[in-house]
Structure 1
Amino acid sequence: MNFIRKIINTRTKDDEAFFADLKKIIGFTPKNISYYKKAFTHRSIKEFDEETGNPVNYERLEFLGDAMLSAVIAAYLFNEVPSGDEGYLTQMRSKIVSREHLNELGRDLDLLRFVKSNIARSKFGENIHGNIFEALVGAIYLDRGYKYCNKFIEKRVITPYVDVPKLEGKITSYKSLFIEWCQKQKKEFVFDVYEDTGNDTIKHFSVKLFLDGILIAKGRATSKKKAEETASKRAYFVFQKELSNL
């Protein structure tokens, strides 16, 4: 008991506040807080493990958390939709663990407030919200094992967000849907992407989407991928009736 008191007493006030907030988020008491500290450490901090010399940041935990999320969601769908074949289950899992959805989860929990970094938050990409969420899942797995990892994912992902009937009609990639339609209809499409920074301080890209040589939509964003997705989404609403039949 004295040993336990000694450990508790060595915590800083910041550690105590982090511990209390973390407990509210994950729904149970963490055992090894160092895993969670690592889950919120950005690579710009440039910390290294004293014993191994390996970098200390959330990236390896992000990899582990991604795998655990996929495993838990796959098991849930397997049991929840007994009639679903492999293709259907894979598609549904992809919708649940999409980058867009993971970013939403990270934002809803306001995980960015815990991140230690040497760069300004305005410099972070949008995906950091989802990356940190995955790292947190990885930390939970290392700290408390699969049972608690499953418990957290069920509480924070499955119960509030997963509605199988609604997910069936959810579009996760307008670009993929548009390309699939073009291939089935034997139509030619071209994404003409070019740099279009203009007066913005951050690099932007614009895209013109042509269908059978005719310009049908445009898009602009901070990455080529996002610009193409924006143009595809606008094209979707132009051809919504045809695309909805896929």
Structure 2
Amino acid sequence: MGIIKKIFTKNTRLSPEDGIFFDEIYKMLGFQPLDLSHYRKAFIHRSSNKTDENGNPINYERLEFLGDAMLGSVIAAHLFNEVPTGDEGYLTKMRSKIVSREHLNELGRDLDLIKWVESKVSTQHFGENIHGNLFEALIGAIYLDRGFTYCEKFIHKKVILPYVDIAKLEGKVISYKSLVIEWCQKEKKAFQYEVYEDNGTEGQKHFAVKLKIDGRIIARARATSKKKAEEKASQRAFFAFQEKINKK
């Protein structure tokens, strides 16, 4: 606790809970946090209905916005330096692959960030995106606490070094729906995504989608949102037409 007392000049007395939280954050970041309040806020869900003295809501959403911007800028700078021949379109596409919602959710899950969430709603009712949202909020907290240099250091350690392989990313598909639509338009084929079922309780609603190409049903899929069902159906269609689509 000696180190903690030196760091937290405003709070020389920390509760056992804060001490545990400090240790966990320190271990995760790889450097010492200076102000735990930023990190606490990074895990407050809007359902907690917390406000500051001016009545402004206190939750992780503003930090999520800030973290998204920091993450995007660090990744953009890395790609700019690593791929000197890449044009704007290429760099934009590669950045999208790195900071895709799927990838951010994976990063948030790997760090088990959800265990720190303060919420009036059971975490079982959260969607998958909560993991990525928390990861972005954490980055925002780092920026406020230690500045851009430490923020960049964390992103390099947790995102770039273990996951950014330019060659592999070039072949990674981030949207099967976009590929299928692009191919259909190029080949002048009519396509249609049709929701044919919408059932379940409000908390567990499912959508069933069928993808038609030239009037023929090519794939069906079910998911918890229309967008996810369309993407899943597109993936199945992609593998059905993969050889043709890859020749586009």
TM-score (normalised: structure 2): 0.94
Q: Deviation at 1:205?
A: 0.3
1:123 counterpart = 2:125: yes
Contact 2:125/2:203 (CA < 8 Å) preserved in 1?
Answer: no
Give the 3-state SS of the residue equivalent to 1:117 in structure 2. Answer: coil
Deviation at 1:26, TM superposition (A): 1.0
Q: How does 1:1-246 map to 2 (within 5 A)?
A: 4=6, 7=10, 9-50=12-53, 52-197=54-199, 202-246=204-248
State the alpha-carbon separation in 1 of the partners of residues 211 and 179 from structure 2.
14
Structure 1 gaps of 5+ residues are: none
Deviations 1:174-231 (A, max 9, x none): 0011111111111110000144325896110000100000000001000000000010
Q: Calculate the aligned-residue CA RMSD, in Å.
A: 1.7
Cα distance between partner residues in 2 of 1:6 and 1:76: 35
CA distance in 1, matches of 2:150, 2:10: 23
Does structure 2 retain, via aligned residues, the 8 Å contact 1:195–1:203?
Answer: no
For 1:65 and 1:200, locate their aligned partners in 2 and report how far apart those are by CA, in whole Å: 31
SS at match of 1:206: strand
- Return the offset for 1:120: 0.6
In structure 1, what is the Cα distance between the partners aligned to 2:200 and 2:148? Answer: 49
**Structure 2 Cα separation of the partners of residues 102 and 30 of structure 1:** 22
Aligned-pair distance for 1:10?
1.7
Secondary structure of 2:212 counterpart: strand
Contact 2:139-2:151 within 8 A present in 1 as well: yes
Aligned mates of 2:62, 2:220 — CA distance in 1: 37
Given that 1:193 and 1:208 are in contact with CA atoms closer than 8 Å, whether structure 2 keeps it comes out as: yes
Amino acid at match of 2:33: P
Letter in 2 for 1:135: A
Query: SS of the counterpart of 2:85?
Result: coil
C-alpha separation in 2, matches of 1:15 and 1:85: 47
How far apart in 1 are the matches of 2:25 and 2:193?
44
What is the percentage of aligned positions where both structures have the same residue? Answer: 64
With the length of structure 1 as denominator, give the TM-score of the two structures. 0.95
- Asked whether the 8 Å contact 1:208–1:219 carries over to 2, the reply is yes
Number of paired residues?
244
Q: Distance in 1 between matches of 2:52 and 2:196?
A: 43
